[in-house]
Chains A and B, each alone.
Chain A
Amino acid sequence: MNQYLISVYQPDGPPPPSIDLQKIMQDVAALRQEMQAAGAWVFSGGLHDASSATVLQSKGSQVLVTDGPYVEGKEHLGGFTIVRADDLDGALEWAKRTAQVIPLPIEVRPFRDEGH
């Protein structure tokens, strides 16, 4: 079994009024239950706006703490799910379902093999 990160990229700021946030939350919860029932779900969560981020960087012997986010941009990671799947096609299947529920770009990345 391999693990994949399914990330949701979200534009900064409040969602447009056309978006039915409550419906999306319900669909996301239902999809998570489905992933859990299938034994594919590892972890998932939604993040606060990127403006809530704090950045740390080591500079010599010190660690510098600054206001985030680290990457400048109009879109940031908004939430993610980690799934278990046999191969990329299995992960893409869950990612496809996620994209059908959340009208935002979804990115899938494989985790490095753990342990060993």
Chain B
Amino acid sequence: MRRVMPELAAADVERVFAAEYGRAVAVLVRVFGDIDIAQDAVQDAFIAAMEHWPSAGLPPRPAGWIIATARNRAIDRLRRESSRQDRHAQAALLHARDEPAEEGAVGDDRLRLIFTCCHPALAPAAQVALTLRLLGGLTTAEIARAFVVPEATMAQRLVRAKSKIRDAHIPYRIPGDRDLPERVSAVLAVVYLIFNEGYTASSGGRLIREALCAEAIRLGRLLAQRLPGESEALGLLALMLLIDSRRPARLTSDGDVVLLPDQDRRCWDHRLIAEGQALVRECLRRNRPGPYQIQAAINAVHSDAPTAAATDWRQIVQLYDQLLAIAPSPIVALHRAVAVGEIEGPHAALTIVDQLDLQAYQPFHAVRADLLRRLGRPHDAAAAYRAAIDRTQNESERAFLQRRLQALPAG
């Protein structure tokens, strides 16, 4: 007789792991006041699940089972260690005595842990790595691969960050009202960085990049849900959903980049678009604009257009004007110039682009190259494509730019 149960259960454990790892770690960090104890306990619990679920079946509340098992196993282990005069274990046991192992009524253990992981006293690279490790459950090897650093380097970065949290007593707490806006921006920046790394990563396998995007969106949903008063959290979620909706059209089956105007819009994920656009409407209703909300609105305009030619570029230019007013940056000005070019032609766009100081920025040269091509200046366009190629690390992008360069008419 074929035994199908174990395979099914393994998939179940994996599904529970992906969905509940962060929640379980966050609860256990609160219970024991220690990240390492929490991580070990949750890992033990998932190993136990692999052993028990195939024969006993999936428990009615898998997350609750994992959390309760993790707590019990950690207490057993700490009792053994504390009998050997381990002061750290004793402190953790004492801590656990007063903390319920259920996720709090308001369910914000994960939110607390995000604020710890994204504390400004930690280096930005460590903030990103810790968030992915503790809340996303990615392995150190996976995070190392995503950020193209040796695994030992990433492991050291994580150990150092966890030691600092412990030694400096970085709290597990949602910041008070006075610090909240600044701290929320830091958290949103980490989440968007994770998303961008996943979406435009210069290297790393496709699977790991999709995992980064999925994790960023999962965190984005959590933040939008738990911080309903923060319009920028809604804006960031909308922005990520709308960008992610275009993923199926963004690469050819050979992995070549397809630019927005050339994408097959029927491939876009219309469920994600509907969700993103609903969030953008909610942001507009609130009328407390911020950079993420405006970028989401720009993406919503693209999503609205059934064809590239039908894009409402005037609205996009207006939104870029608004974005430049609250968050001036030459990169935003570059994007705005592209939109201006769609209305007033490549000459107007090039005039703006040539005033920007972005020599080191690859898209600056790619945009210039395209504008010069459209202006019938193939010689100048070729030089700009070469400048762009020199500045790109991403293989797909390099191949794309090479094709464009070769397609230029002989100057």
Chain A residues at the B interface, C-beta cutoff of 8 Å: 2, 86-89, 92, 108-110, 112, 116
Name which of B168, B170, B175 has the most chain A CB atoms within 10 A of its CB. Answer: B168
Q: Which residue of B lies closest to A92 (CB)?
A: B121
Q: What string of 1s and 0s marks CB contacts (under 8 Å) between B161-175 and chain A? A: 000000111110101
Hey, which chain B residues are within 8 Å of A112, CB to CB?
167
Q: Contact flags (1/0) for B245-268 with A, using CB distance below 8 Å?
A: 000000000000000000000000
Whole-angstrom distance from the CB of A109 to the nearest CB of chain B? 8
Interface flag for B87 (CB, 8 Å): yes
Cβ of B335 to closest chain A Cβ, rounded Å: 35
Given A2-B169, A88-B168, 20 other A-B contacts at CB below 8 A? A86-B169, A86-B171, A87-B169, A87-B170, A87-B171, A88-B119, A88-B121, A88-B169, A88-B170, A88-B171, A89-B170, A89-B171, A89-B175, A92-B121, A108-B168, A110-B167, A110-B168, A110-B169, A112-B167, A116-B87
Bound Cα distance A2, B170 (Å):
11
Q: Is the interface of B mostly helix, strand, loop or mixed?
A: loop
A94 vs B171: C-alpha distance when bound (angstroms): 16
- A-chain residues with CB within 8 Å of residue B175 when the two chains form the complex: 89
Which residues on B sit within 8 Å (CB–CB) of A88? 119, 121, 168-171
Contacts of B140-173 to chain A: CB distance below 8 A? 167-171, 173
Question: How far apart are A106's CB and chain B's nearest CB, in angstroms?
Answer: 13
Q: How far is the CB of A115 from chain B (nearest CB, A)?
A: 10
Most buried by B among A92, A109, A112, A116: A92
- Residue on A with the closest CB to B170? A88
A2 to B166, CA, bound (A): 12
In this complex, how many residues of chain B approach chain A with their Cβ under 8 Å: the count is 11
B172 to A: closest C-beta gap in Å:
9
Tally the A-B contacts, defined by beta carbons under 8 Å.
Answer: 26
Distance between Cα atoms of A86 and B170 in the complex (Å): 10
| 20 CB-based A-B contacts, threshold 8 Å | A2-B169, A86-B169, A86-B171, A87-B170, A87-B173, A88-B119, A88-B121, A88-B168, A88-B170, A88-B171, A89-B170, A89-B173, A89-B179, A92-B121, A108-B168, A109-B168, A110-B167, A110-B169, A112-B167, A116-B87
Q: Mark B108-124 against chain A: 1 for CB-CB distance below 8 A, else 0.
A: 00000000000101000
Of chain A, the residue at the smallest CB distance from B115 is A89
Q: Which of A88, A92, A108, A110 has the most C-beta atoms of chain B within 10 angstroms of its own C-beta?
A: A88
Q: Which chain A residues border B179 with CB–CB below 8 Å?
A: 89
Chain A residues within an 8 Å CB radius of B168: 88, 108-110
Separation of A103 and B87 alpha carbons in the complex (Å): 41
Chain A residues with CB below 8 A from B170, complex form = 87-89
Closest to A1 in B: B169
Closest chain-B Cβ to A111's Cβ sits at a distance in Å of: 10
B77 to chain A, nearest CB (A): 21
Q: How far is the CA of A87 from the CA of B170 in the complex (A)?
A: 6
Q: Which of chain B's residues 105-139 have a Cβ closer than 8 Å to chain A?
A: 119, 121
Q: How far is the CA of A87 from the CA of B179 in the complex (A)?
A: 15
> Which residue of B is nearest A85, CB measured?
B169
Q: Distance (Å) between the CB of A6 and the closest chain B CB?
A: 13
Q: Which residues of B from 256 to 300 have beta carbons under 8 Å from A? A: none
- Nearest CB on A from B249, distance (A): 45
User: Smallest Cβ distance from A48 to chain B, in angstroms?
Assistant: 29
A109 CA / B168 CA spacing, docked (Å): 7
Closest to A2 in B: B169
With both beta carbons as reference points, the residue of chain A lying nearest to B171 in the complex is identified as A87
The 8 closest A-B pairs by CB, nearest first: A87-B171, A87-B169, A110-B168, A88-B168, A88-B170, A2-B169, A88-B169, A110-B167
Residues of chain B within 8 A (CB-CB) of A89 are 170-171, 173, 175, 179
Contacts of B119 in A (CB 8 A): 88
Nearest chain B CB to A2 CB, angstrom units? 5
- Please give the distance in Å from B120's CB to the nearest CB on chain A: 9
What separation, in Å, do the CA atoms of A71 and B85 have in the docked complex?
39
A74 to chain B, nearest CB (A): 24
Q: Which residue of A lies closest to B183 (CB)?
A: A89
Instruction: Give the residues in chain B near A109, CB-CB below 8 Å.
Output: 168
Cα(A112)–Cα(B168), bound, Å:
9
Contact residues in B for A87 (Cβ distance below 8 Å): 169-171, 173
Per the bound structure, the CA–CA distance linking A88 and B173 in Å amounts to 11
